[in-house]
C-alpha cells in the first residue's frame, strides 16, 4: 500500500482481555516501530524491529506487552490481561532509507 | 540524544508566518535537528531536518543558530490546516534506525 496501515482503528475491550493490534508497513521498509500515545502527551517509544528481529524493546512497559514481525513485514502488537491504564493510541511507523512514516494509529479503550 | 525545550502552545493568525522555537543547548556536533508535526487524530508527519545550515522545503524552513543551541521552524504563510502539535527532536547522525524520542511539543493554533 501507499502508506502505513493499522488495524483496527478503534478497539474497545474489557479489563483482563487479550488484544492484538496489527501494522502493515510501507513495502520494502526494513525498520518498524511501535509507539504509544496518551492524551496530551507525545508518542512514547515501545519497540522497534530491524527485519524480523526486535532490535530494541526497552520501551515495553511490562511482560504483558509483546510484539512480533515473523516475516519482516507485518507486525502485531499483543497485549495480555489488559488494564485500564493501557488505554491509548498505539502508533506504528516504518522507515526505509529516509524518515519515519506513521500510520493513523489504533485507539485502544479498556473499560 | 540531546534534550529539547519548546513552548507548550502558540497562536498564529492565518496567512502570517508561524515561527516555532526550539532550544537544544546540549546538542553535540553530529546531532541533527528534526521537526515532525501531528494533526489531530493522525500520526506524526515528517517536516524537515538539518545539521547546521538552514534548510527549506515545500513545507517549511528551518533556521539553526550559529552555535546550534537553538532553532526555529518557520511556516511562511500559515493556514488553518497547519493547526497541529509540532515536535522538535535532536538525534545523532550515526544513530541508524534507533527510535526518535518525542517530547510534548508545541501546540500551534492558527486562527482565522
At B49-89, the pLDDT tens digits run 999 989 999 999 999 999 999 999 999 999 999 999 999 99
Q: Which residue has the cell 538539518?
A: B50
Using one digit for the tens of pLDDT, what is the confidence trace for B7-57?
999 999 999 999 999 999 999 888 999 999 999 989 999 999 999 989 999
pLDDT at residue B1, as a whole number = 66
CB contact under 8 A, B44 and A56: no
CB contact under 8 A, A42 and B46: no
Q: Which residue has the cell 516504518?
A: A94
Q: Which residues of A touch B103 (CB under 8 A)?
A: 42
Q: Which residues of B touch A93 (CB under 8 A)?
A: 43-44
Q: How far is A48 from chain B (nearest CA, A)?
A: 7
- Considering chain A, what is the average pLDDT of its residues? 95
Cα(A8)–Cα(A108) distance, integer angstroms: 9
CB contact under 8 A, B43 and A4: yes
C-alpha A68, offset from chain centre: 10
The region of weakest confidence among A92-96, B44-48, B98-102 is B98-102
Among chain A, residues having any CB pair with chain B shorter than 8 Å are 4, 30-31, 33, 35, 40-45, 48, 50, 55-56, 59, 91, 93, 95, 99-105
Of the candidates A59, A57, A58, the residue with the CA atom closest to the CA atom of residue A68: A57
How many percent of chain A have pLDDT more than 90?
A: 94
- Residue B8, chain A, CB below 8 Å: the answer is no
CA angle (B51 as vertex; A96, B75 as ends), nearest 5: 85
Residue among A45, A48, A102 whose CB faces B43 most closely: A102
Cα(B82)–Cα(B108) distance, integer angstroms: 8
Amino acid at each position: 500500500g501507499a502508506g502505513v496501515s493499522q488495524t483496527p482503528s478503534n478497539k474497545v475491550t474489557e479489563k483482563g482481555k487479550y488484544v492484538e493490534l496489527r501494522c502493515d508497513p510501507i513495502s520494502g521498509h526494513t525498520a518498524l516501530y511501535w509507539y504509544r500515545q496518551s492524551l496530551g502527551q507525545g508518542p512514547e517509544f515501545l519497540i522497534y524491529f530491524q527485519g524480523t528481529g526486535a532490535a530494541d524493546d526497552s520501551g515495553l512497559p511490562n511482560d504483558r506487552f509483546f510484539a512480533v514481525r515473523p516475516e519482516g513485514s507485518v507486525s502485531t502488537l499483543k497485549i495480555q490481561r489488559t488494564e485500564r491504564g493501557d488505554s491509548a493510541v498505539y502508533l506504528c511507523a516504518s522507515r526505509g532509507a529516509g524518515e519515519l512514516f506513521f500510520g493513523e494509529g489504533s485507539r485502544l479503550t479498556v473499560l | 540524544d540531546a534534550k529539547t525545550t519548546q513552548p507548550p502552545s502558540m497562536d498564529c493568525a492565518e496567512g502570517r508566518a508561524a515561527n516555532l522555537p526550539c532550544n537544544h543547548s546540549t546538542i553535540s556536533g553530529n546531532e541533527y535537528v528534526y521537526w515532525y508535526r501531528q494533526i489531530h487524530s493522525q500520526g506524526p508527519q515528517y517536516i524537515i531536518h538539518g545539521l547546521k545550515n538552514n534548510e527549506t522545503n515545500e513545507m517549511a524552513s528551518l533556521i539553526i543558530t550559529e552555535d546550534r543551541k537553538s532553532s526555529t521552524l518557520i511556516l511562511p504563510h500559515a493556514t488553518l490546516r497547519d493547526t497541529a502539535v509540532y515536535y522538535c527532536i535532536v538525534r545523532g547522525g550515526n544513530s541508524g534506525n534507533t527510535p526518535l524520542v518525542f517530547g510534548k511539543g508545541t501546540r500551534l493554533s492558527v486562527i482565522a
